[in-house]
Amino acid sequence: MSHNLKWLDNIKMEFEAVCHELDEAIDRDKTRRELSKKQTALESQIQQESKLNENLKNQLADLTRRSDDVDKVCNLIKTRLNIADSDKNKLETAREQYLLAKELTGIRLDFEYCAKHPNKAKGYIKNQQKHLLESFDMDINSDALWDLVANLFVTGDENWPPNNK
């Protein structure tokens, strides 16, 4: 009987070894399938991202072309808008004259209103000595404007405008 037990023990050990090998083979196959699924998912994601990358590269190239076109137009406009030195000097002189006249007379014009209404003058006169602002809105008449300026600069009570209005 002892011989039968040894023989059964050998069969049992061989059977357990085969079962162990089968379990390992099943585990390897399972791991391989999981890795294959992950690889397939990653490859699919890489393909999608590659397509997206290609689309973005195409958009970037298109925007770069547009940007170059805009730069060309801007440079063309800049070359056409160059002001001659003599015109720059005239503009600077006119600006200085305007600032000087503004300080001397105290007249401040509303240029937006005057541009919309070419026969009207609107603005205010600033008298720093009397701390007074006098607004005006009138037809273009330099004599009336100068009379208004003269009345504001009449000496007297510094905080009250003259009563001859």
**Whether the predicted pLDDT of 31 surpasses 60:** yes
The total number of structural domains that make up the chain: 2
| Phi, psi at 145, each rounded to 5° | -65, -40
What is the distance between the alpha carbons of residues 101 and 104, in angstroms, rounded to a whole number?
A: 5
Q: Report pLDDT for 77.
A: 83
The pTM (predicted TM-score) of the whole model is 0.38
Q: Does residue 110 share a domain with residue 43?
A: no
Q: Does residue 70 share a domain with residue 134?
A: no
Which of these three, 29, 48, 82, is where a domain ends? 82
Q: What is the DSSP letter of 162?
A: -
Q: Report pLDDT for 78.
A: 79
Token pair 């009345």 is at which residue? 151
Q: Does residue 139 share a domain with residue 68?
A: no
Which of these three, 47, 82, 117, is where a domain ends? 82
Q: Does residue 4 share a domain with residue 75?
A: yes
What is the distance between the alpha carbons of residues 96 and 89, in angstroms, rounded to a whole number?
A: 11
For residue 111, being part of any structural domain is answered with yes
For residue 30, give the 3-state DSSP assignment.
Answer: helix
Mean of the per-residue pLDDT values of the chain: 85
The tens digit of pLDDT for each residue in 83-111 reads 777 788 888 998 899 888 888 888 888 88
Dihedral angle, C-alpha 82, 83, 84, 86, nearest 10 °: -170
Residue 30's pLDDT band (boundaries 50, 70, 90)?
A: very high
Percent of the chain with pLDDT over 70: 92
Q: What is the DSSP letter of 140?
A: S
Percent of the chain with pLDDT over 90: 38
Which residue range(s) make up the domain with 110?
Answer: 104-152
The tens digit of pLDDT for each residue in 121-132 reads 888 888 777 777
Higher-pLDDT residue of 125 and 24 is 24
Q: Report pLDDT for 159.
A: 56
For residue 70, being part of any structural domain is answered with yes
